[in-house]
Amino acid sequence: MRRRGFLRTSGAGLAAAALVPLDARALESDVVDYTLIACPAGSAAQANAAICGLRGSSGPLGYNGLVPGPLLRVRAGQRVRVRYVNRTGEPTSVHWHGMIPPNAMDGAAGITQPPVENGGTFTYAFTPGPPGTRWYHDHASGTASMRGLFGMFVVEDPRDEAADAEFSVVLHDVPRLPSIDAAMRGRSNAPMIDPLDSPEMHAMHPGDRMGDEVSYVAHAINGASYPQGPPLRVRIGQRVRLRVLNANLTQTRYLRLAGHRLRVTHADGNPLASPVTVDVVRLGVAERYDVWFEVTRPGAWLLHTLTSDPLAFEQAVLICTPGMEHASPQTDAAVLDGAAVLTYAVGGLGLTETPFLERPAAIRKHYELDGGDYGSRRWTMNDQLWPRTEKILVSRGDDVVVRFTNNSDMEHPMHLHGHVFQLVEYNGRALRQPLAKDTTLVPANGGTVAWRFQATSPPGRWLLHCHNQIHMMDGMMTEVAYRH
């Protein structure tokens, strides 16, 4: 796909980023109805069956023609009924990332439901929760999931402090599709673009042939690359909440707001034990953070990611006060040097010297993550590829501890469906305050992470996989299965 074409079309069908207060009628109804039509992107204005009926090619897709898809929103306790229509040209499904729905509504094609065939429909009905910043995306094995089928889903929590202004901020990058196939074969030549002093860069040895990275032709926030895309408009005196999602297929992102520090209140939509203030927020693939700042003066500031790729600097959006739309915006250096970065240790209020102590009765599982040799299609868990990977069998109420050791030279954003777990241990040391999450990065070259959760979700099969799309498709996936 041509980059210019992408920008033009996604600009034409931009989803609104501002979360205006829900009106009384929306708040009162017990059930909220949505229709999501997966179809070629850019046809938003005409998101109807006639236009979306085009047979799928390899172009960008969007829910209702939008990239990202429409912001779905309910207040905690409301049910949704989402009528899903597939007009992509291939089998698809919709997964509600970070939610705990009945297993049959989880949207894992081939596991919790048959894929929705092209032209078919499926109605997802459930009570979205737990409250917080969640998201939704395609979860079938075709290419559709890589072509733009994702969006944010906010479940409003009445216990949250009130914001004066609130925005969704979705980071995403447009892949060059042939590079996905090359990366799956371990033979891509796309470079890493992480900031120079990041752990991602340090994990690599000079001269390493990567082979596993996807190349991206456009870097966007809310579907547009800077300077396209409308600014986020704020006013002096406002306390502003940004709900940030990294919807990139493979890469970690570092986000900074020029001239401001960011107060972080939620990780993957779940409240932190106490908020922390940082300069830069680090988001692994699929992770979300809620960050706040105050507008104390007139101005125009760039909210932007940090990378070592000059092109990726277009992954930015302007935040400005009235009349400052055309002022030249304040930016910050695109390096991590000296910046306070949100890490799990910071979010967890520090690490203790000792590892997390599990209870003797716990169900324990340890996975060694490995693979990614040049020219190989293997990303393994205990040397096995999905579907032969070792499963975690649980009974209702079990206390479960899952540990990962990463022997490869790439980090892995491991994700568990249908649960919120506690991140209790990082590189062998316990977090003082465990972080409630659904996705965590396992650092490269021997890094370890431990999760703990109670098996209290609805019975069924819940996938556990690396959210790096290449690693997942190349085998790094297993499941937590309830006995009844």
d(CA 177, CA 206): 27
452 binds, among ligand C2O, Cu ion, none (CB under 5 to 8 A by kind): none
DSSP count for the chain of H helices, then E strands: 7, 31
288 binds, among Cu ion, ligand C2O, none (CB under 5 to 8 A by kind): none
412 binds, among ligand C2O, Cu ion, none (CB under 5 to 8 A by kind): Cu ion
Task: State the nearest-atom distance from the C-beta of 473 to Cu ion, in Å.
Answer: 11
Answer for which of 351, 463, 466, 470 binds ligand C2O (CB under 6 A) is: 463
Task: State the nearest-atom distance from the C-beta of 477 to ligand C2O, in Å.
Answer: 8
H or E segment to which residue 10 belongs: helix 3-12
**Residues found near Cu ion in the complex (CB under 5 A):** 412, 466, 468, 471
Nearer to ligand C2O, 137 or 172 (CB): 137
419 binds, among ligand C2O, Cu ion, none (CB under 5 to 8 A by kind): none
**Nearest Cα to Cα of residue 389 among 297, 282, 465:** 465
**String of contacts with ligand C2O for each residue 139-178, x by CB under 6 A:** x---------------------------------------
288 makes contact with ligand C2O (CB under 6 A):
no
Nearer to Cu ion, 316 or 477 (CB): 477
Nearer to Cu ion, 143 or 468 (CB): 468
| 34 SS3 class | strand
Burial class (CB in 10 A: 0-12, 13-18, 19+), 160: middle
Using only C-alpha atoms, what is the Rg of the chain?
21
What Å distances lie between residue 252 and 145, 233, 296, 443, 477, CA to CA?
18, 27, 30, 11, 19
Nearer to Cu ion, 75 or 412 (CB): 412
Burial class (CB in 10 A: 0-12, 13-18, 19+), 123: exposed
Task: State the nearest-atom distance from the C-beta of 438 to ligand C2O, in Å.
Answer: 8
471 binds, among ligand C2O, Cu ion, none (CB under 5 to 8 A by kind): Cu ion
Burial 422-445 (b: 16+ CB within 10 A, else e): bbbbbebbbbebbbbbbbbbbbbe
In the block, tokens 């094995």 appear at: 141
Answer for which of 172, 417, 419, 452 binds ligand C2O (CB under 6 A) is: 417
Q: What number of other Cβ atoms are within 10 A of residue 31's Cβ?
A: 11
286 makes contact with ligand C2O (CB under 6 A):
yes
Do 219 and 314 touch, CB atoms closer than 8 A?
A: yes
Answer for which of 137, 241, 253, 403 binds ligand C2O (CB under 6 A) is: 137
95 makes contact with ligand C2O (CB under 6 A):
yes
Query: Tokens in use for 165?
Result: 């202004």
468 binds, among Cu ion, ligand C2O, none (CB under 5 to 8 A by kind): Cu ion
Do 124 and 130 touch, CB atoms closer than 8 A?
A: no
Nearer to ligand C2O, 171 or 320 (CB): 171
Q: Which of the stretches 177-185, 307-315, 363-371, 461-469 binds ligand C2O when contact is defined by CB under 6 A?
A: 461-469
Where on the chain is the footprint of ligand C2O (CB under 6 A)? 95, 97, 137, 139, 286, 415, 417, 463, 465, 467
